[in-house]
Chain A
């Protein structure tokens, strides 16, 4: 007697079950297969090549009419099952009831639709089946623009396909980087770069507010109020297990249909398989585990023992030319360690995550050839201690003992390319060395190796060392830190010349050896990026030392000091009263007059900061940036207003300068002073910029110091007018911002480049002076604002995440 088996859903999972079952026991089963789609099984994961035009639907059919006929499967395609009756053991479809002895639910998933207004307009589609694919192909035929919501696996495949079909595509992604579930930021950066190269626009941290349109979708409105035209909107935000039938039938359901390791639901005659299931809290979205499930289910139905176990899965993206791979777990957890490899010239990034001498996760971009080998190591839990040093180079490097970089370079053949930019091989460098080029500079000059992007500098030096042996002294130019081989100056130069506008771009293109730098390099790189690309780059507070992140100076006991600005050292009775009130209200233990002509409130509790700032704001005061690598104070003397010797309005000029320069970030702190006459009561001659007013105008001098070093300023120029004095000051500060190494005070930087070099640009070349001032103004259009006012609105940032001391002890 044949058993009656009914299968609901002809998808990837149930297709496999039927194959196993009809292969092993062709005569034991009387099978009825329902499918809501008006067709049988096809390879759903190949819909993207169909969308892009690389394949046709016919090529991705896995089971055709002949197959079903040969296996005696009764097909009810285009007919959704609407109910399961467990009492009568029948399922109900539009074409009538069908009885079952065993029932398999394989209804897959339904795409998730974000509940924004306009979601039901024609022209808004999801991406799940052939009909969706055909709808996209048809829409693309009319050209125009498409917006894809969410840059995950599905969304990006849709975007690439639509773009290949000639649409103008924008991808909106809520997260900071694409495919954040499968990729880390570095790989996400490379993926974004490759997609942008093919003309796809990517917007991260973009949240959809509504879909606009009268009779059909016309545009997408973002939370930022930006409006993007859209003839087609593809929602690829995620999937939800299709559980409605099971819920109605009273089966046990969590996020999916709950099953045991034999794929049995809470009813012993009903089984479930595929994306609709929930196995111990696990949901599934890729086919590999579904195929395992299908095998187990077929065995269960045939009465053979089998159990499903959850395994790690690997992800690839089916977009031609975007080579990525991720597997295992590269997030969360204790005792983990990273190995990072980057090859900027070839756009390659690899990261391995180790735990207890096992590989547990891998993310790769650009070169994924070793992906399966790594995946094997992850699945098998292989002990990698022996090959740890060379692991990241893949299987080709294993088994030959440990390689040290020098012997690896020594072993390179003469035709091995060292400098990718200029196509210089090892042999050419060795020849140049033989001809007398015995240091990096000489190699650069004679062969051009490492003279372009500079990332092969380390390799060139190793060739020098291997060839010259002990007679070669590794150069003393200090790299920024252990995370990279480049100096500050090189990094600055490359950020400008290669137009790098994000941290990820710097990490990748300059071959950083860590995931996201360290406390030494990250603040520097953050500054370089914001100084060079004030509009494009967004300042990253998490790359700042605590003082700048919290806009207050941390004290040795973890409290903070608060110093409001007093423009040019001038204050009023009202301001003093507000400061006194704040001191009382927040129990400030110390109120001190600083060396910078203003008042410091010391010992404020972290959680009180937003409130004391708000109070000071209300009295018209703003942050004094007493914590920043930025403009600190402009000291002034009383000048012509009161002093019998004053020649110009030193107080007024000081205030003007402070109002112009405040808020700007600089390589190190910047302090100014303006004295009304050569008696110099404002101590202008030991500042970063000091101005002494004289009868004939303004003596502008720069590069003084009065801290760890003591140094008198050097004359920059004598300005005839106040405006010229201001222009010279701004141009000097901007030149310093554009060129100095992070944490070099102005006097140290001027000592390196020479005062003449500075004068050429700031004083002599009027066009350059103009450019510097314009660049500074542009930056200030973003940064000349009070951070306290902003942070006073973010009170929660300064409070504990939670307070468990308040919880009743259990």
Chain B
């Protein structure tokens, strides 16, 4: 793992998200609880909706375009919809969000 600092947790609204630009495309960084952070691909597998603009509930997000719901832990679409989004390891250390750069790099090679 190589942790890259991407910002303070307070910069992501509670029950909201911000976008992280990477070489593998946009990653949505979600904050679901006071110290809960997730990072997943920002692009909905249905028709490319920006997931960072969706409603965040529990540990899930609802796509803003056609309401597919994704579990932020697994990246799996819920209910009747079939689809999957990439998830990326993130952690919070002393109020800063860090993302695992090695994974982002591997994905770009793969």
Interfacial residues, chain A to chain B (CB-CB below 8 A): 175-176, 180, 184-185, 331-336, 338, 514-519, 522-523, 540-546, 549-550, 554, 556-558, 606, 796-797, 800-805, 807, 809-810
B55 touches A334 (CB 8 A): no
Tell me the bound Cα distance from A764 to B13 in angstroms: 47
Q: Is B62 positioned at the interface, with any CB of A under 8 Å from its CB? A: yes
Contact of B2 (CB < 8 Å), options: A176, A338, A796, A810: A810
Mask for B36-54, Cβ within 8 A of A = 1, else 0? Answer: 1110000000011110011
B53 touches A554 (CB 8 A): yes
Known: A185-B33, A804-B21, A810-B105. 4 other contacts (CB 8 A): A514-B57, A543-B15, A543-B55, A801-B11
Q: Which residues of chain A are within 8 angstroms of B74 by Cβ–Cβ distance?
A: 334-335
Provided the pairs A331-B36, A335-B74 are in contact, do residues A542 and B13 lie with their beta carbons within 8 angstroms?
Answer: yes
Q: Which residues of chain A are within 8 angstroms of B89 by Cβ–Cβ distance?
A: 334
Q: Which residues of chain B are within 8 angstroms of A807 by Cβ–Cβ distance?
A: 4
CB distance from B83 to the nearest CB of A (A): 16
Contact of B65 (CB < 8 Å), options: A331, A333, A556, A796: A556
CB distance from A516 to the nearest CB of B (A): 6
Q: Is B104 positioned at the interface, with any CB of A under 8 Å from its CB? A: yes
Chain A interface mostly helix, strand, loop or mixed?
A: loop
Tell me the bound Cα distance from A335 to B7 in angstroms: 24
A522 touches B57 (CB 8 A): yes
Interfacial residues, chain B to chain A (CB-CB below 8 A): 2, 4, 6-7, 11-16, 18-23, 26, 29, 33-38, 47-50, 53-60, 62, 64-65, 67, 69, 73-74, 87, 89, 91-92, 97, 99, 101, 104-105
B36 touches A802 (CB 8 A): no
Contact of A801 (CB < 8 Å), options: B18, B33, B53, B57: B18
Max count, chain A CB within 10 A of own CB: residue among B22, B48, B57: B57
CB distance from B67 to the nearest CB of A (A): 6
Q: Which residues of chain A are within 8 angstroms of B21 by Cβ–Cβ distance?
A: 800, 802-805
A542 touches B34 (CB 8 A): no
Provided the pairs A336-B59, A801-B29 are in contact, do residues A558 and B15 lie with their beta carbons within 8 angstroms?
Answer: no
Q: Which residues of chain A are within 8 angstroms of B4 by Cβ–Cβ distance?
A: 804, 807
A546 touches B64 (CB 8 A): yes
Tell me the bound Cα distance from A698 to B99 in angstroms: 63
Q: Which residues of chain A are within 8 angstroms of B29 by Cβ–Cβ distance?
A: 801
Tell me the bound Cα distance from A338 to B49 in angstroms: 27
Provided the pairs A546-B64, A556-B65, A801-B7 are in contact, do residues A334 and B73 lie with their beta carbons within 8 angstroms?
Answer: yes
A338 touches B11 (CB 8 A): no
Q: Which residues of chain A are within 8 angstroms of B48 by Cβ–Cβ distance?
A: 557-558
Q: Which residues of chain A are within 8 angstroms of B50 by Cβ–Cβ distance?
A: 554, 558, 606
Residue in A closest to B66 when the chains form the complex, CB atoms? A556
Q: Which residues of chain A are within 8 angstroms of B35 by Cβ–Cβ distance?
A: 331-332
Contact of A175 (CB < 8 Å), options: B18, B34, B91, B101: B34
Tell me the bound Cα distance from A314 to B48 in angstroms: 43
Q: Which residues of chain A are within 8 angstroms of B64 by Cβ–Cβ distance?
A: 545-546, 554
Tell me the bound Cα distance from A333 to B4 in angstroms: 17
Provided the pairs A176-B14, A802-B20 are in contact, do residues A336 and B73 lie with their beta carbons within 8 angstroms?
Answer: yes
Residue in A closest to B34 when the chains form the complex, CB atoms? A180
CB distance from B37 to the nearest CB of A (A): 7
Tell me the bound Cα distance from A331 to B19 in angstroms: 21
Tell me the bound Cα distance from A517 to B49 in angstroms: 22
B33 touches A542 (CB 8 A): no
Q: Which residues of chain B are within 8 angstroms of A557 by Cβ–Cβ distance?
A: 48
B47 touches A556 (CB 8 A): yes
Q: List 27 A-B contacts (CB under 8 A).
A: A176-B14, A176-B34, A180-B34, A184-B34, A331-B35, A331-B36, A332-B35, A334-B73, A334-B74, A517-B57, A518-B57, A518-B62, A519-B55, A519-B57, A542-B14, A543-B55, A546-B64, A556-B65, A797-B13, A800-B18, A800-B20, A801-B18, A801-B20, A804-B6, A805-B23, A807-B4, A809-B105
A541 touches B19 (CB 8 A): no
Tell me the bound Cα distance from A797 to B34 in angstroms: 18
Max count, chain A CB within 10 A of own CB: residue among B16, B33, B101: B33
Residue in B closest to A558 when the chains form the complex, CB atoms? B50
Residue in B closest to A281 when the chains form the complex, CB atoms? B93
Provided the pairs A175-B34, A541-B13, A550-B53 are in contact, do residues A335 and B58 lie with their beta carbons within 8 angstroms?
Answer: no
